[in-house]
Amino acid sequence: MESLSDTKWDVVISGTGLQQSLLALALSRSGKNILHVDPNEYYGEAEAVLSLQEIDEWAAARQSGDGDGVFAAARVTRPDGPESLSPRGYTLALAPQLIHTRSELLSKLVSSKAFRQLEFLAVGSFYIYQPSSGETSAASLSRIPSTREDVFANTTISVKAKRGLMKFLKFVLDYNVEPQTDVWKPHAGDSLASFLAAEFKLDADLQAYIVTLTLSLDGKISTEAGLAAIHRHITSMGVFGAGFAAVYPKWGGLSEIAQVGCRAGAVGGAVYMLGVGIRDVQKSSSTAEMPEELDIVLTNDVAIKSKALVKALGKPAGESRRLSRLTAIVDSDLPALFEKVTDGAPTPAVGVVAIPAGTPFGEDGVSSEYPIYVLAHSSDAGECPTGKCVLYLSILTSPDAQTHLEKALASLLASLSVEGHEPPKSLYQLYYEQTGFDVPSINIDGKSAVFSLLPLDLAFNDSVLDPVRSAWEMIASPATDEESADYLVFTDREGADAEDEFDN
């Protein structure tokens, strides 16, 4: 067997984040010599899922305000002491995301047959937190109607408001064709909330319902972007089954997809090395007989040569945004968040709760200028034992972000308390900040490519796939029309399961 230094590598991939792993999947049938390394001891990079023991080490290395360039200001809190939870009984996702059933990512997982190694779980209802109104009512959660049936069945919306909401739902189904385009394009850059008020006469509550479905991080999404997001949500409803518009891969979300991509790469002959990164890269001199190669030195001091290199951005450059995250393990399974909403629907493993911007919460009635979102994962997601629940809270970073998240968590748990019982309690909390770009990109220089940081979206953004295709084209160049048409379109390997459906 040739050593690493003696092997003529066609491409070196650094990092096992989602994009690099999808690239490994795309190259898994290419017959190329591929070396795939990662300086971390785990797969997934920013999309990783880690045990509590690993989280402790991860957070300790990212306590400063700068952290590792992607994650920063990490700190762990255990209210009941360090021995209260089994360190390997839980796994927490660093950047959980929903995947709409109409997402191009799912199409690529199907065409590449990678979906056979994944189990997808239903994302259930979207809720809005309703604050208490004095002494007359306690804080509660209101489920957002997103289908005609939901609207008709809702008893809290007036008949007049229902008519406006039904008009909007009908409009958004065909929003991108005439005559609908004539209605919204003059207001494309205006806020979606103002468009809903002016064109459909929707009140502030219904505006909040619709904006929440977009999962807009700042709550100020434009009409154009908002209509696209709502259209994606509405048209995704029922694609894989009744009662849900999005899915979540069991055992770790995007991390699980990354590992499946790397597994495909390994089956195709790629060599994998965790705990090894890249120390130095230099371009070799080139001649007509000897095309330019890259001299690469790994962090284990091994020197190699490769025709191409693909890696992730080490430090943020250019305009970026920061998201504050608070992950909490709760001593209850919070069944109210995971109820079936229609006959024949699967039991959801994920629920979504939003506290819209400006909503008072907490004992002192504090409010935030940005919305707070909560992704609730039941034990079915494979991240906690039965009887527990994991809550992933997020808000755009501000000086008061951590305080707002902690108060939002307490308020949410209080709203889910059962009369005569103590409110559910948080057993473990992890706070950290994540940096990302709004629009993912790739910088290609010859045969070297660098992926930008990913967007911070709470629902997978299909634009993430475009840089992966660009990296594949760089490596495959010159690719024939047939090769381009077969990008991530594979037949089953011999002995693969013949079942061609998602396991929901």
Long-range contacts of residues 194-201, Cβ cutoff 8 Å, at least 24 apart? 194/223, 195/223, 195/226, 196/168, 200/164, 200/165, 200/167, 200/168, 200/171, 201/164
Nearest to residue 310, comparing CAs of 6, 4, 7, 9? Answer: 9
- The pairing of beta strand 8-9 with beta strand 303-306: parallel
Q: CB of 236 within 8 A of CB of 500?
A: no
Asked if the model's pLDDT at residue 503 lies above 60, the reply is: no
The structure tokens listed for 101 are 């059933």
Q: Which amino acid is at 209?
A: Y
Per-position DSSP letters for 417-476, written without gaps between them = PPTTSPPP-EEEEEEEEEEE-SS--EEEETTEEEEPPPP--SB--GGGHHHHHHHHHHHH
Dist CA 126 CA 350 (whole Å): 10
DSSP state of 146: -
pLDDT tens, residue by residue, 127-171: 999 998 766 578 899 898 877 777 777 777 788 888 888 899 999
Mean pLDDT over 3-20 rounds to 94
Q: Which amino acid is at 446?
A: G
Nearest to residue 267, comparing CAs of 414, 430, 116? Answer: 116
Mean pLDDT over 28-40 rounds to 96
Cα–Cα distance list, 57 to 41, 72, 126, 299, 323 (Å) = 11, 13, 34, 20, 21
- pLDDT at position 317: 62
The structure tokens listed for 480 are 């024939």
pTM reported for the whole predicted model: 0.94
User: Where does 99-250+320-436 sit in CATH, by number?
Assistant: 3.90.660.50
- pLDDT at position 136: 57
pLDDT tens, residue by residue, 50-77: 999 999 999 999 998 887 789 999 999 9
Mean pLDDT over 316-329 rounds to 87
- pLDDT at position 493: 75
The structure tokens listed for 390 are 């994991």
Mean pLDDT over 320-328 rounds to 95
- pLDDT at position 87: 73
Asked if the model's pLDDT at residue 111 lies above 70, the reply is: yes
DSSP state of 384: S
* Maximum Cα–Cα distance across the chain: 83
Q: Look at 4-13, 41-50, 284-293, 487-496 and tell me which has the smallest mean pLDDT.
A: 284-293
**Residue 186: which residues within 8 A CB-CB, separation 6 or more?**
none
- Cis ω on the peptide bond leading into residue 179 (within 30° of 0)? yes
Q: Label residue 502 by pLDDT band (50, 70, 90).
A: very low
Q: Is 307 exposed, middle or buried (0-12, 13-18, 19+ CB in 10 A)?
A: middle
Mean pLDDT over 368-385 rounds to 97
DSSP state of 366: B
Q: Which residues pair with 140 in a beta bridge?
A: 130
Asked if the model's pLDDT at residue 316 lies above 70, the reply is: no
Q: Look at 87-101, 144-158, 327-341, 429-443 and tell me which has the smallest mean pLDDT.
A: 144-158
- pLDDT at position 156: 73
- pLDDT at position 290: 52
Q: Report how far apart the first and last C-alpha atoms of the chain are (Å, whole number).
A: 43
Q: Label residue 501 by pLDDT band (50, 70, 90).
A: very low
- pLDDT at position 49: 97
Q: Determine the 3-state secondary structure of 190 from DSSP.
A: coil
Dist CA 172 CA 210 (whole Å): 11
Q: Determine the 3-state secondary structure of 88 from DSSP.
A: coil
pLDDT tens, residue by residue, 163-205: 888 899 999 999 999 999 999 999 999 999 999 999 999 999 8
Dist CA 259 CA 42 (whole Å): 10
Q: Look at 31-40, 151-160, 395-404 and tell me which has the smallest mean pLDDT.
A: 151-160
Cα–Cα distance list, 172 to 168, 184, 357, 395 (Å) = 6, 10, 24, 27
* Class of domain 8-48+252-318+440-476 (CATH, top level): alpha beta
Helix (H) or strand (E) holding 199: helix 192-200
* Domain edges within the chain: 8-48+252-318+440-476, 99-250+320-436
- pLDDT at position 137: 73
Per-position DSSP letters for 314-346, written without gaps between them = SS--SS-EEEEEEEEEESS--GGGG---STTPP
- Neighbour count for residue 144 (Cβ, 10 Å): 19
Number of residues written out for the chain: 504
Q: CB of 154 within 8 A of CB of 381?
A: no
Asked if the model's pLDDT at residue 271 lies above 90, the reply is: yes
